[in-house]
Structure formats: C-alpha cells, structure tokens
Amino acid sequence: METGPNVRRFGTIPVFFTAISTILGAILFLRFGFAVGTLGFWGAFLLIILGHSLTIPTAFAISELATNKRVEGGGEYFIISRSFGLNIGATIGIALFMSQAISTAFYIIAFTEAFGFIFDFFSGSLGINLPRQAISIPSMLALGYIILKRGSNLGVKMLYIVAAILFLSLLLFFFGKTEYGINMGSRLPAGDIRNMKDFFMVFAIAFPAFTGMTAGVGLSGELKDPSKSIPRGTIIATITGMIIYTGVIYKFAISASPEDMLADQLLMSKIAVLGVVIVPVGLAASTLSSAIGSIMVAPRTLQALALDGSFPSAKINKWLSLGRKSDNEPANATLVTIIIAMVFVTLGSVNAVAEIISMFFLVTYGSLCLISFLNHFGSSPSYRPSFRSRWYLSLTGFLIAVWVMFKINAPYALASLILMTAVYSYIKVYNRERDGLESLFANALFQINRNIQVYLQKSGSKKKKKEWRPSAICISKDSFVRSKAFHLLNWISYRYGFGTYLHRIDGYYSRATSRKAMEELSKLIEIYDTTNNHVFVDTLISPSYTSALAQAIQLPGISGMENNMVIFEYDKENPENLKEIIENTGLIAAGDFDICLLASSRKEMNFRNGIHVWLDFHYPENSSLLILLSFIISGHPDWKRANIKLFGTCREGKDEETRQNLTDLVRSGRLPITEKNIEIVHEEPGKTLKNIINEKSSHAALTMIGFNEQTLKRLGESLLNGYEGVGTILFVNSHNQKEIV
C-alpha cells in the first residue's frame, strides 16, 4: 500500500462533495428567497440559467483540460499555468488564491447568521449588541486549527458530515408546507416574473452561489486519478447544484408571498419541517462546508504558485512550497491562508470586496473557457483530452464571463483587469525567461494565419486588378556589419508593406551550418527585438549568392501575397559585392520583381533632412514606384518630422508642363507633399545629372533615384558611381507602372 508524503488518497467523491458543498452555500439559504421575491420564479429561473451558462461551460472546459495531461497539485492554477504559461498562470493564480482565501472569511461571517437567536437574546434580554466577531473569530480560529493540525484528510471527513446535514435540511425544506402554499395549491402564480430592471443587481448578490463548482479541482494533488475524478465530480456537482437551485426557487414561489420573501432572509425556517432548528443548522452546515472547501483549496493554490517560483524571493517560494513531511500537507501555505482570512473576519464584513472577489472568480472561469476554446481552435497535436467539450460552449462561457463582469460592476471589472495587468507586469520583470503573453494565442494564430493565407491566395487569383503594396525580400550576409538594409525593410513594412529579411550563411546545408544558422537567427532576433520591428527574420544557407537568390524569390510571402520586390544592399564607400549584385539583377528581373539597390553610406542619416526623390519622366514606371515608396517609408516613426521633396528634370521651356504633371500626380494621389517641395531642375549643358544631384541632395537623409535594368547591365557599376556628395541612396527599378490612386 502506498504511503508517505506523496500518497494520493482521494477519488471522485471528495471532488463532488467539495464542489457541491461550496455551491450550496450561504447564498442558497440567505438570498434565494430575496431573488424570487424580487424577480418572481421565472426571473429567478433566468438568473439560474445565466449563472449556469457560465458554470457549465467552465465545468466542461476544466474537465477537458484535466484529461489532456497529468494534473498535479494546484488545481485551476496548475491547469491555467500549463496551458497559458507560468507568468500568466501566476497572475491568475494569485488572484484565484486571494479569492479563495477571502471566500473562507466570507463563509465564516455568513456562518454567524445561523446564530441569530444568540444575538437576539443578548440584544433583547441583556441590552447588549453583541458583535458578529464574537462568533466568527473563534469559529475561524477553530477551523484553522483543525485544518492546520489534521489537514485535508480530516477536512474531507468533516465535509461528509456537514454535507449530510446540508442535504437533510434541504430535504426537510422541500417537505415543508405553508398556509400560503395550501391556498395556492402548489401552483405557480400566472406570469410570475417582475422587476427585470433589477435583474443584474440581484444577480450580483446571488453570484457567489455560482462560484463553487471548481472547488474540488483544488484537491488535484491528492487525487488517485485526476483525469477521471475531476470531470466526474465537477460535472455531477454542477448539474446537481442547478437541479437543487431550480427546486429551491420553485418551493419558495409556491410557499410564500413576494412580500414575505423580501422581509425575512431566513424564510426557509418557516417553510421547512422542523425549520426553526434544521434551517439554522443547515445554514451553519452550508457555510461551514463552503469555508472548509475554500480553506482546503486555497493553500494548495498558494503552494503550487510557490513551487513554480512565482514570488520574487527564493526564500518565500521555498517556505510556502514546503509540505509537512508526514502527509505533504501545505502547512505554511495554510497558515498564510488562515492569517488572510482572519484579517477579513476581524473586519466583520467583506461586502466592500465581495464584488472584487467575484471579478477574480469570473476571470478564472473565463480564462478556463478561453484556454479550452483556443485549444480547440489551435488544433495542437499535443491536445488529446479523453473528455472533450465543444468549442462553441467554451467560447460562450468566455464571452458570458466578460459580459457579466461588466454588467455586475464595470468599475470593479476594470479595476480587476488593471490590477491583474500590473501583477503580470511585475511577475514578467523577474521571470523574463518564462512564457508570457506571446504564448497565449500561439496555436490559434497559426491556424488563423494559415486560413487567411489560403483565403488570400484563392481570392487573389480571382482578382484581375490588384491594389499594389510592397512585399519585399532582402538577402544579406553582412547583417552584423551594416544594418541599413534591415532598417529600410522595416520602414517599408511598418504600416503599408511586408518584409522578409534573410541572413545568408555561405556553405552547404549540414548539421554544422544548421546549428550556426539557428545561433545567428537568435542573435538577429535579439538585436532587432523592438516594438517598432515589423520584419520577419530568417536565415538561408546557400553556397552562392545566385543560388540563394533563386531560392529566396521562390519563397511564399509571409503576408499571404507573393513577394514582388527584392532589395540588394552594398557599402557605397567599399562596394565589394556590387559586381555580384549587378550580375544577378537579370535573374530578379526575369521574375517580374521590382528591384531596389541600397547604397549604404557611412554618413549618418539625419531624418529631419528628409527624403529626396529624383524623377525621370523617360521612365514613368520608375516615377510612380519612387513616389509610392517614399510615401511608404515616411510613414515610419523614424521619419515623422521629415519631408518628401520631389525633383523633376526637364529641358528648357518645359518647366510649367513638368511642374503641372508633378502637381497633378501629387494631388490625385493625395500624397503629403506640398507644392513648395516640388522643384524643377533644368538639364544644363556641360553639367551632368549626377553633378546636380550631388549638389541638391548632399544633406538629404535618403536620396531615391530611378534606374533602368538594361542600362545597368550595359554600363555596370559606372551607372551607380559618381554620387560621392550624397549620403545613402536607394536606386529603384520598377518592372511595371504602379497606379497612384
């Protein structure tokens, strides 16, 4: 027989009783009569339906998640953290723990309502207003002592006793008769629904009744077979609770008038057989059982958080994670839970924080449903639960959780989300290496991206006329030497275009080059890991530049559209690879790609000096691409204070015609270029265009010039040389006319 600290001793029944005893808590006895009195039977029934439209999908979701992988201690926290990553899991787990710990105090305070006769005696006979703490504090100390000394094993045994009392009190309630019920003949009043404007006010009061169905999951570390016990116990408890709730509101509706239900919060005692005794005992049992459930579950959540190193101090994590040697009970975590609960019991009321607690529970339930939905949608091969929910149930549960949060109390909902964001940010600071939000939607995003790309390919093939936007690819082996090519690609990709940057590694594909490629890719991603980076970075292993280009231009575009532009880059002051680039432009032109040659200058780029665009109307296809690219590049934040200046060259006497053509092009294209930034340059005898550009654009941050691919092939490097007075230059060749609309 298995013994020792790691023994797993519980089956399905403790899961069921922990959940059902928390479900059938104080709200059932103290507030369901108020709900029926305010809303009528059908209004209260809608309240139960709404509550279970959240809890049933959550029960199914947690059952599904629990059967996908082995569940250790920590219950809901363990499932969330292993599905969403430790940082997100810790954020939700801390909120969950606080909710469970404060709920213990809430149930103990409600427990004191069962002793109303004592308070009435002191007040009526002795004239002493006895504070509720006179009972709640000793009760909390006694419960804490029992759990701390004897652990969950005794807690479960106590659970069986109080659950038996609870069910007996409910049974006697259903058997009870009233004069009102006899006169009504056990029939519901016709059209028994009212005050629906107060529906969410009542729902907010009754909501704690729906927060107990996952309580049994917290025993996951002590379960022999969590994958069987959690689904069975949780689902059976949830459905049982729904049936009992419906029966209770029906019994109220046929047994008492709305006025009586609103006037007496313990009206059940006047309906039940032996109600004067059994209902207070049942209330005590229900609140005590809920408190036991919470005080058993909260320490296990805290212990699991500490085992995962969720707190900033290693000493705190070690101390909280320690289990008692004899039975592995989380003694230290239990002590912390008792202290927190005692603080709120001492305050006397948790009404001020009750809605915040509800918010945290709703966040937890919504998260569980969202995890289930994303796992369905993401279709990960590793997601193979033996129990399967339905994606639409999980999505419905998530949406209802968010909706209900804001319907109950929008400021509290926002406060909860802001607080959790702050906690997440703090956890992320000292646990940077752990998975965060980036892992949240990974598989779902893969599926969305795949479907979008297939859709775009299908729809794109049917379009005769496509709107142009750049989808550029750049290959460079000098990634760690010069960065301007990457920055150019990033400027193009920031808002209007798409970019793929390939770092080329010389050699044939092998284990060594593959390992090198992975290492250098990691370095590149780290170097360009900024919020303004919109370029997809990868590596390419190839023995030659030509073969690398041939491979790259056949790659599909990351955006779902084919790549339509290739960017080459060379050092303007030391153009070692320029000849190789020119030799391969024909290969690129054969695929109908636009070609950009970036001549990187060592001269610093002062963005405020703007972009100078030189247009040659002998090549109108280049002019349209030059203008569009300058506009796209200027959309990046780096260029936010920069102007675009257009230069048009013409012969003597063609000034006005050339200016009008440029002005019309700018206006019709709604381009942010003012008329004062359009300059007409005459072609002067004895003065080459290169001389003029060197003079006019010497201070420009970026100079853009068109070129003809055939002319480049004929003249070679001489076509691109002779711009010593200018900084970085982007030479552009368009394979067709781009329409500026």
What is the SS3 assignment for 682?
A: strand
The answer to whether residue 486 is domain-embedded is yes
Encode 567-583: b = buried (16+ Cβ within 10 Å), e = exposed: bbbbbbeebebbeebbe
- Residues 417 and 306 both lie in one domain: yes
Number of H helices, E strands in the chain: 26, 10
pLDDT at 707: 93
In this structure, is residue 512 part of a structural domain?
yes
pLDDT tens digits for 68-99? 766 665 567 777 777 667 787 888 888 888 88
**Residue 456 pLDDT grade (very low, low, confident, very high; cuts 50, 70, 90):** low
Contact between 96 and 77 under an 8 Å Cβ cutoff? The reply is yes
Report the CATH number that the domain containing residue 583 is assigned in CATH.
Answer: 3.40.50.12370
* pLDDT tens digits along 147-171: 777 655 555 666 677 778 888 888 8
Domain count of the fold of the chain: 2
Judgement on whether residues 471 and 426 belong to the same structural domain of the protein: no
Q: What is the pLDDT of residues 583-634, one digit of tens each?
A: 999 899 888 899 999 999 988 889 999 999 998 777 778 888 888 899 889 8
In this prediction, residue 595 carries a pLDDT of 94
Q: Which tens digits make up the pLDDT trace of 380-434?
A: 666 667 777 888 888 999 999 888 888 888 888 888 788 878 888 888 777 766 6
Distance CA 195, CA 38 (A): 6
Distance CA 578, CA 571 (A): 8
- The one-character DSSP state at 560 is S
Tell whether 346 is covered by a domain. Answer: yes
| Residue 446 included in any domain | no
Task: Please state, in angstroms and rounded to a whole number, the distance separating the CA atoms of residues 430 and 418.
Answer: 19
**What is the arithmetic mean of pLDDT over 226-230?**
74
Name the E strands within 536-587: 536-542, 565-571
Clarify whether residues 417 and 506 are in a common domain.
no
DSSP structure class, residue 382: T
In a domain, 635, yes or no: yes
Domain residue limits at 608: 465-733
Tokens of 17: 């009783």
Task: Determine the Cα–Cα distance for residues 713 and 40; give it in Å rounded to an integer.
Answer: 87
Q: Are 417 and 494 in the same domain?
A: no
**Model confidence band, residue 350 (pLDDT cutoffs 50, 70, 90):** very low
Pairwise CA distance, residues 119 & 134, whole Å: 10
Which of residues 337 and 312 earns the better pLDDT score?
337
My answer on whether 414 and 501 are in the same domain is no
Which pLDDT value is given to residue 46?
92
Strands, E assignment, 607-665? 611-615, 644-650
The pLDDT value recorded for residue 379 is 63
Q: How confident is the model at residue 4 (pLDDT cuts 50, 70, 90)?
A: very low
Task: Assess whether 309 and 169 both reside in one domain.
Answer: yes
Token readout for 122 is 């002191």
What is the C-alpha separation between 84 and 96, in angstroms, rounded? 15
Instruction: Please return the burial class of 193, using the count of CB atoms within 10 Å of its CB with bins 0-12, 13-18 and 19+.
Output: middle
DSSP secondary structure string for all residues of 317-346: HHHHH---TTT---HHHHHHHHHHHHHHHH
* Mean pLDDT value of segment 704-712: 92
6 pLDDT band, cuts 50/70/90, is very low
Residue 370 sits at the vertex; the CA angle it makes with 367 and 375, to the nearest 5 degrees, is 125
pLDDT at 307: 86
d(CA 362, CA 413): 10
User: Final residue of a domain: which of 405, 430, 455?
Assistant: 430
Question: In terms of domains, do 424 and 493 share one?
Answer: no
% of the chain beyond a pLDDT of 70:
85
381 and 478 belong to one structural domain:
no
Looking at the fold, whether 508 and 629 belong to one and the same domain comes out as yes
Is the pLDDT at 15 greater than 70? The verdict is yes
pLDDT in tens, 479-532: 888 888 899 999 998 888 888 899 999 889 899 999 998 998 888 888 877 657
Residues 60, 155: one domain?
yes
DSSP 4-21: STT---B-HHHHHHHHHH
Q: Domain boundary at 430, 457, 476, which? A: 430
| Mean pLDDT, the chain, whole residue set | 81
CATH number at residue 379: 1.20.1740.10
Residues 422 and 472 both lie in one domain: no
Q: What percent of the chain lies above the pLDDT cut of 90?
A: 13
397 assigned to some structural domain: yes
Highest mean pLDDT among 77-91, 235-249, 458-472: 235-249
Q: What is the pLDDT of residue 243?
A: 92
- From 380, 412, 430, the end of a domain falls on 430
For residue 5, is it within any domain?
A: no
* pLDDT of 150: 66
One domain, residues 344 and 226: yes
Instruction: Identify whether 451 is part of a domain.
Output: no
Task: Give the pLDDT confidence score for residue 348 in this predicted structure.
Answer: 62
Q: CA triplet 702, 500, 485: central angle to 5 degrees?
A: 25
